[in-house]
C-alpha cells in the first residue's frame, strides 16, 4: 500500500511530540519532514524513541514550512502562524490539518475579540472542516482543510451536544468548570508555569474570555440546533496532562438520570473512543495518554440540574490523536488506524 507522505510543523512542542510519535507508527502515513527552530539540524531519533526511517529524519527550520514537500501537513503552530501558512499550503494542493484555532470559528468578525487578530484568510473559513468526528463526521469526508478542535472544546462539546439536542435539558444557562493539566499551556519557560508556582496550587484563569467559548457554542449549535451563551471557567491544575470538564444544565421536570444516560449511549454507541460511565467514575487517569473520551451524567434533583462530566487527555484526544482520527475520517480510513495501540 502506498503511504501518504506527511510533515509536522512545530514538531518540538508537546502536541508536536505526540503527533510525531503517533504519525511515525501510523500504517498509512510516511513521515517525511519535521520542522522546529529549537531542534533544527538534530535527528528525530535523538529526541524521541523512534525506529526506522523516522528516527533518521532531521528537524528543519520553520522558515521551510511554506515549501515543505508532503501530501499532508500538520500545523502544531500558534494561530497567527497558521493563518499565514494555511493559504500557501492549500494553494500548492496540499491537505492541511491545523491544530491551532486559526480556522475554528466560522465568523471572521469573531477573531479580533477571541484571538486578537483580523483574519488574513477569511475565504478559507467556509472550506475548513471541524475535526471532531463524533459530532461532525459527515462533513469530514474528503476534507482538504481540517481545523482541529480545542482541547477544552472537545471535552465540553461532547458532554453538552447530545443532551441539548435531546430536549431534556435547557440550552440556556449552561455553566462549565473545566480543569486542565499544565501541558495545555504549551511548552514554554515562564515564571507562572514553573514548578514552585504550580505545585500544590489550583487557579482559575481567563474567566469570561477563553477562546474556546465561542467554539463550544458554535459546535453545540451545529449539532443540537441551539445553544445559549455558556459560562465557562477554566482552571489550571498541577498535573502534566488531562482535562476534566463538569457542566451544569437546567433539567426538564421529572427527567431521570437513566434517560440522560440513554441519550449518551444512543449518540455514542458506535464510537470506538467513547465510553459512558457513572458520572462519579469519570477520571483523568483512565484516559491519560489515550484517544478516549469518558462521559458521565448525574441528576441533582434538589437543584433541578443535570451534571455532565467528561475526561480526555488534552494532548491526545484534545490535540494530536484527534488530528489523526480526523484525517482518518477524511481519507476514508478506519478511524482507529494508528490509534488502536495508544493506551494509558
Cell numbers describing residue 150: 480545542
- Write the CB contacts of 199 (distance below 8 Å, at least 6 apart in sequence): 238
Report the alpha-carbon distance of residue 97 to residue 323 in Å, rounded: 7
Dihedral, CA atoms, 19, 24, 25, 28, nearest 10 degrees?
Answer: 100
Report the alpha-carbon distance of residue 218 to residue 223 in Å, rounded: 9
Q: For residues 299 and 257, is the Cβ–Cβ distance under 8 A? A: yes
Q: Which of 6, 151, 196, 227 is catalytic?
A: 151
What is the 8-class DSSP label of residue 344? Answer: -
Show the DSSP H helices in 192-313 as ranges: 195-198, 212-224, 257-268
Kind and range of the H or E run holding 20 = helix 14-24
Show the DSSP H helices in the chain as ranges: 14-24, 53-56, 79-91, 111-114, 133-140, 151-166, 195-198, 212-224, 257-268, 321-331
Identify whether 227 is a catalytic site residue. no
Q: Which residues are known catalytic residues?
A: 151
Amino acid at each position: 500500500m502506498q503511504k501518504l507522505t506527511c510533515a509536522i510543523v512545530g514538531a518540538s512542542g508537546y502536541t508536536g511530540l505526540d503527533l510525531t510519535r503517533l504519525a511515525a507508527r501510523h500504517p498509512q502515513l510516511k513521515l517525511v519532514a519535521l520542522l522546529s527552530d529549537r531542534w533544527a539540524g538534530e535527528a528525530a531519533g535523538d529526541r524521541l524513541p523512534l525506529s526506522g526511517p523516522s528516527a533518521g529524519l532531521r528537524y528543519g527550520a520553520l522558515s521551510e514550512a511554506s515549501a515543505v514537500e508532503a501530501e499532508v501537513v500538520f500545523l502544531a503552530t500558534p494561530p497567527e502562524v497558521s493563518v499565514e501558512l494555511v493559504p500557501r499550503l492549500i494553494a500548492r494542493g496540499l491537505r492541511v490539518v491545523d491544530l491551532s484555532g486559526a480556522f475554528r470559528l466560522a465568523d471572521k468578525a469573531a477573531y479580533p475579540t477571541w484571538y486578537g487578530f483580523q483574519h488574513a484568510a477569511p475565504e478559507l473559513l467556509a472550506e475548513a472542516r471541524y475535526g471532531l468526528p463524533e459530532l461532525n463526521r459527515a462533513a469530514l469526508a474528503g476534507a482538504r482543510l481540517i481545523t482541529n478542535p480545542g482541547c477544552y472544546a472537545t471535552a465540553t462539546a461532547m458532554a453538552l451536544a447530545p443532551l441539548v439536542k435531546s430536549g431534556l435539558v435547557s440550552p440556556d444557562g449552561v455553566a462549565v468548570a473545566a480543569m486542565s493539566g499544565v501541558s495545555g499551556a504549551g511548552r514554554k519557560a515562564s515564571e507562572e508555569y514553573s514548578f514552585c508556582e504550580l505545585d500544590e496550587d489550583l487557579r482559575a484563569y481567563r474567566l469570561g474570555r477563553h477562546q474556546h467559548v465561542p467554539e463550544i457554542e458554535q459546535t453545540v449549535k451545529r449539532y443540537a440546533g441551539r445553544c445559549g451563551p455558556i459560562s465557562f471557567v477554566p482552571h489550571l491544575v498541577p498535573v502534566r496532562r488531562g482535562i476534566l470538564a463538569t457542566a451544569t444544565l437546567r433539567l426538564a421536570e421529572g427527567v431521570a438520570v437513566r434517560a440522560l444516560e440513554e441519550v449518551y449511549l444512543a449518540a455514542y454507541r458506535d464510537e470506538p473512543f467513547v465510553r459512558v460511565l457513572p458520572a462519579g467514575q469519570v477520571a483523568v487517569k483512565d484516559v491519560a495518554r489515550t484517544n478516549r473520551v469518558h462521559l458521565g451524567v448525574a441528576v441533582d434533583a434538589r437543584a433541578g440540574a443535570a451534571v455532565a462530566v467528561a475526561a480526555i487527555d488534552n494532548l491526545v484526544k484534545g490535540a494530536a490523536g484527534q488530528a489523526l482520527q480526523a484525517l482518518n475520517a477524511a481519507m476514508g480510513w478506519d478511524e482507529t488506524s494508528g490509534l488502536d495501540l495508544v493506551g494509558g
